[in-house]
Structures are given as C-alpha cells and as structure tokens.
A and B are shown apart, each in its own frame.
Chain A
C-alpha cells in the first residue's frame, strides 16, 4: 500500500512539473499588472485587449493558416507516399524511410538553416510561402510514421477483392483501404498540426521580415517583455484544445473499456 501511495505521489509530482508553467500562464493572463513579477489583482481586460490587438490577431491567423495548410498538404502527400513505399523493394524502401526520418532525427536548427540556404539560393522571397514549404517538409514524416503501421496491418487481399468485385482502383482504395488506415491518417494529421503550431526554430530561419507567427512574435517580444494579451491568447487556445480533446476522447473511451471487459475471460 505504501508502494502504491509512493507511485501516486511520483506521478502527481511529474504532472505538477509538466503543468506548472501552464497553470502559471493561465494565472498571468488574469494579472492586472503588466509585469510577470508581481500580482496586480484579477482582471479580464487582457482578453478584451487581445481582440483589439491587430498584430497578435494577424500572428494567430498566420499560425493557424500555416498549420492547417501544412498539415493537410503533408497528410495528402504522406498518405499517398505510404502506398507507394509499401510497394517498393526492401532495400529501396529502407532508403526512402531513412531519408524520411532525417527531418525528425535531425536537429531543428540544422533543418532550419539548411532550408534557409536552399531558399536563398533558389532566390525565393521569404514569407508565408517559404514557411509553408518548410512546415510541409517536417510534417510529412509524422504522417508517414503514423500511417505506415496501419498500412502494414492491412490485408492486401481486401483491396484485391474489391478490384475482383469490379471496383476501380480509386473507388477500391477509398471504399476498402482508406477506412482501415483512417485512424493512422487522422493521428498523423493531428501530430503534424500540433508540430506545426508549436514550431519556432524552423520558422525562425525561414520566415521573412514582415511575417510573424505566434512563436516568432513571442520570441521578438522576449526582450521587450511579453504582452499580457499573449497569455490570454495561449490560455484560450489551451482551454479550447483541452475541451475538444475531452469531447473527442469521451466516447471511444467508454467503448474500449467495455470491449476490454468483454474480452477478458
């Protein structure tokens, strides 16, 4: 019993460690004082100010737009790539997967500067376009990584059976293969979206002068002092995501527990 209590305390401590900064930011978003250092009383004015601050709203818009376009594009390219990777010969497949893993295993700073050098030598104008190209590049591996295992579990004969029964390749793919790999595609998309949203380093090297995402905006504000509106915004984002995830997770949760119970003996 002491052992169990120790386990619980350990988990709770780790969770305090992981979530303390988040809690701090939420508290700061209600802090009437402009500095982080002292508590100036409760206020919601930063939440009101937030929507009047064009620069922050523009950065938010950019961030979401980039995350959305990059993760959708990466999901499409990555899923299609998975189909063909599965059909490659063993050695070529290993090579392709090896190259795919590079952006994940490589340091972000190296990926960032390598893309920066590429864009410069291509003569591209730095801005939304270059950020998007970079984000798609580092998002694709996450999609492939989560779709590939699903693809491997797939029974190759179901697709053949669909063709045998008269389905065209595209129809057969969407009716038979796609539903099976969909969970992998979705989690890949979600992963890519999260990574894109949270990215700072690669954006830092590939953005142009005029364009800012939330991350880069925060980074430039570090020296001057973060605007409290930023805390309000990140609190809103976090709470929204938390509620969404709780809603999404509620139903499958009940289902799996029931399934597990019936499977057990």
Chain B
C-alpha cells in the first residue's frame, strides 16, 4: 500500500447555518484514483473545494504530505483543479491558457514551450496552440482544462464533475482517456461526480457521500456487491431493497420466506434490509422457485430483458437474458452469496433520501 498523501481530519463546514459537512474524516493515498460520489448537495464539491483551498473548513484540519495546509491559500498549494464547465480563460489562446501557471512560476520560455507541446500531445490536441477556447468543442475544452492543470506537475489533480457537460458517447471516451492519463502521469486523482457509472469505471476507491456524511468507502466491486446501507445500494445501480428479518446466522426471512445466505453476526430475529441486484434474481417455473410470482411488466433493453415480477406483495426488478411474457407465473430464487444483508439505518441522518438528479 502507498503512503497517505492527504488526510482530512474532523472537517465540518456549514453555509448560512446549513450543515454541509459534518465531522468528515478521509485519507487519500499516493497515486490513488479516488472518487467522491453522491447526489447533488451531498458535500462532495465542498470537500473538493476545501482540498483546493477555495473554502476554509469551520473546524478540522487538512494535512498534505504531513503538513497542515488548512489555511494555505490556493495559489500556494501543490494541487491543481479541473473545474466544472472547464473555467478556461476565454481571452487567452490555448497556449496562453496552458502556460498560465508556468509563467507565474517564472519558467523559461523554452521550458514552457516544451511543456505546452507535451501537454497537448498528452490530451491528443497537438497543433491547437493558437486557437481560442470558444472555438473548441466541449470535449476539447475539457482536455485543455486538464492540460492546463497537469503542466504544473501537481502531486494531486482535483476534478470537479469534469465530464458533466459532455454527451454520453464523449463521456465514455473521456473516461478511458482519464484512466490512461492517470497511469501515464502517476499522480493522485480526486474525482467528484454524481454519476455512479463513471465512478465504477475509473476509480480505485469510491467514497459514497450523502447529506454531509460518508456512507461507505471501498473499491468499486465492494461498493457494488456489498453496499453497507440502503442509500448506497439504491444509489449505485438498480437494486431490490427489501425489509427482512435475520433469523439466525446464514438464514434470512424475506417476505415471509426463508432464504439461506452467507452473512453472519447480525444477531437473531433482527430486522435488516437486504439488497438483491436485479441480475441476481433467478426466474424459473413456479414449482422450482422459492417464492411464486406473476410477471407484470416486460421491456427489452438490448443486453437483457427487464421484468417486474409481483411476488408476496413486492415488485421485484429482474434483469435476465431469458424472458417470460406478462402474466406468466414464475418462481423466484436467489443464490445465498447474492443476498447482501445490511443493518437498518440507526438514525434519521443516515436514512436513504430520495436521489435528486
């Protein structure tokens, strides 16, 4: 494991009496691709702005490379930011934009020229030196914003929803581009997004946030497969979140039917939430399934069929490559290791809220 580069300690911040971050603790390792993921208003952008130095936390410390930088102004920090909607300097050429930080550091002209060439090559925009930002497409402006940040050789690159303004196809291309850049530069990326797919595709570590609290920290796989609470399960991908009772270790009662599972340590006869991903629901003939149900909706989605099955009073969302017509009686089963057990939220703060997108 790489060493800790940034350590956020007990960060709190409020605006106009409204709590945005509440006692947040988070560390970021060297050379990590870390994503802050959450709905708008969850505090992810504020966290990033505190890192960049554009906001000062009400309390808590920001430690960078073992130094306290909480009060350090942005222009003295060894990190650079790629802003939402790029924030390019519209009155300067592309070359002048990229050279901005280097000129301030009084680098020689030949050094700057080399860096501009290198950066433009890195973002696949060689030859754009003398264009103006307004004449570039959104995707190109995005790359320039990245080039402008990385020529300064920051130890950390902060990216604030950088792909938000791009269309779907371009966004997917840029995701691969960012992964490539990160590997070539070998620096830390801290990425803010509300798009779960972006987060899953690119990150080493995902931090799911909601209402100023960290909900879960983990690898994309663990966040997707083992969500710790209903909010995370609901926010990441489609899922069936069902109230259930943990009968004993490795046995859970869902909608009145007992299912074997693999989780232990929740106690006996405890109310829990279970998460079952739609692709993990197995449909079969009524005789073989654990629960009987009726297909109520069927949509072809390309890769798979999406079905809704009413069983024991719950609408199950099912993704499957096979299909059953509407009205068919089916049996439902789930493999034990595909049932994810979660504790019910302890306080109101942690409760899953409606995701506004």
Touch between chains A and B, by CB atoms below 8 Å:
yes
Q: Residues of A with Cβ closer than 8 Å to B? A: 261, 264-265
Interface residues of B in 1-31 (CB under 8 A from A): 15-16, 18, 20
CB distance from B18 to the nearest CB of A (A): 7
New A-B contacts (4) at CB < 8 Å, excluding given A264-B15, A265-B15, A265-B18? A261-B16, A264-B16, A265-B41, A265-B43
Provide the bound-state CA to CA distance between A264 and B17, in Å: 12
Taking the closest CB of chain A, its distance from the CB of B163, in whole angstroms, is: 21
- A261 smallest CB distance to B (angstroms): 6
Report how far A261 CA is from B18 CA in the complex, Å: 10
- Whether, in the assembled complex, B188 has its beta carbon less than 8 Å from a beta carbon of chain A, the answer is no
| A265 CA / B41 CA spacing, docked (Å) | 5
Report if B46 contacts A (CB, 8 A).
yes
Q: List the B residue with the shortest CB-CB distance to A264.
A: B15
Residues of A within 8 A of B46 (CB): 265
A188 vs B41: C-alpha distance when bound (angstroms):
38
Specify the main secondary structure of chain A where it touches its partner.
Answer: loop
Please report the C-alpha to C-alpha distance between residue A118 and residue B46 in the assembled complex, in whole angstroms.
63
Q: Which of B311-335 contact A (CB under 8 A)?
A: none
Residues from chain B with a CB closer than 8 A to the CB of A261 are: 16
> Can you list 9 contacts pairing A with B, beta carbon distance less than 8 Å?
A261-B16, A264-B15, A264-B16, A265-B15, A265-B18, A265-B20, A265-B41, A265-B43, A265-B46
Give Cα A261–Cα B16 distance, bound, in whole angstroms.
8
In the complex, A167 Cα to B20 Cα: how many Å? 47
From residue B12, how far is it (CB to closest CB) to chain A in Å? 14
A264 to B45, CA, bound (A): 12
- With A and B bound together, what is the CA distance between A265 and B13 in angstroms? 12
Residue ID in chain B nearest A260 by CB atoms: B16
A264 to B15, CA, bound (A): 8
User: Which residues of B from 37 to 52 have beta carbons under 8 Å from A?
Assistant: 41, 43, 46
The residue in B16, B20, B41 that gathers the most chain A C-beta atoms within 10 A of its C-beta is B16
Q: Write out the residue numbers on chain A whose beta carbons fall within 8 Å of the beta carbon of B18.
A: 265
**Nearest 5 CB-CB pairs, A to B?**
A265-B20, A265-B41, A265-B15, A261-B16, A264-B15
| Distance, CA A10 to CA B346, complexed state (A) | 54
A265 to B212, CA, bound (A): 11
Closest residue of B by beta carbon distance from A261: B16
Q: How far is the CA of A264 from the CA of B41 in the complex (A)?
A: 9
In whole Å, how far is A264's beta carbon from the nearest beta carbon of chain B? Answer: 6
Report B-chain residues with C-beta under 8 Å of the C-beta of A264: 15-16
CA distance A200 to B43 in the complex (A): 56
Residue of A with least CB distance to B40:
A265
CA distance A89 to B18 in the complex (A): 50
| Chain B min CB distance to A77 (Å) | 35
Task: List A contacts of B43 (CB < 8 A).
Answer: 265
Contacts of A265 in B (CB 8 A): 15, 18, 20, 41, 43, 46
CA distance A42 to B16 in the complex (A): 48
Chain A residue numbers with a CB within 8 Å of B16 are: 261, 264
Nearest-neighbor residue (CB-CB) of B45 within chain A: A265
A181 to chain B, nearest CB (A): 27
Shortest beta-carbon distance from A258 to chain B in Å:
11
The answer for the CA separation of A264 and B43 in the assembled complex, in Å, is 11
> How far is B68's CA from A66's CA once the two chains are assembled, in angstroms?
68
Q: What is the CA–CA distance of A264 and B55 in the complex, to the nearest angstrom?
A: 14
Query: Please, which residues of chain A bring their CB within 8 A of the CB of B41?
Result: 265
Separation in Å of the A164 CB from the closest CB of chain B?
Answer: 27
> Closest CB-CB distance, A52 to chain B, in whole Å?
55
Give min CB distance, B22 to chain A, whole Å: 13
CB distance from B143 to the nearest CB of A (A): 29
Distance in Å: Cβ of B54 to nearest Cβ of chain A: 14
Give Cα A264–Cα B18 distance, bound, in whole angstroms. 10
- Give min CB distance, B153 to chain A, whole Å: 32
Chain A neighbourhood of B20, CB < 8 A: 265
B48 → chain A closest CB, angstroms: 13
- B20's closest neighbor in chain A, by CB? A265
Q: How far is the CA of A261 from the CA of B14 in the complex (A)?
A: 12
Give bound CA distance, A265 to B43, whole Å: 8
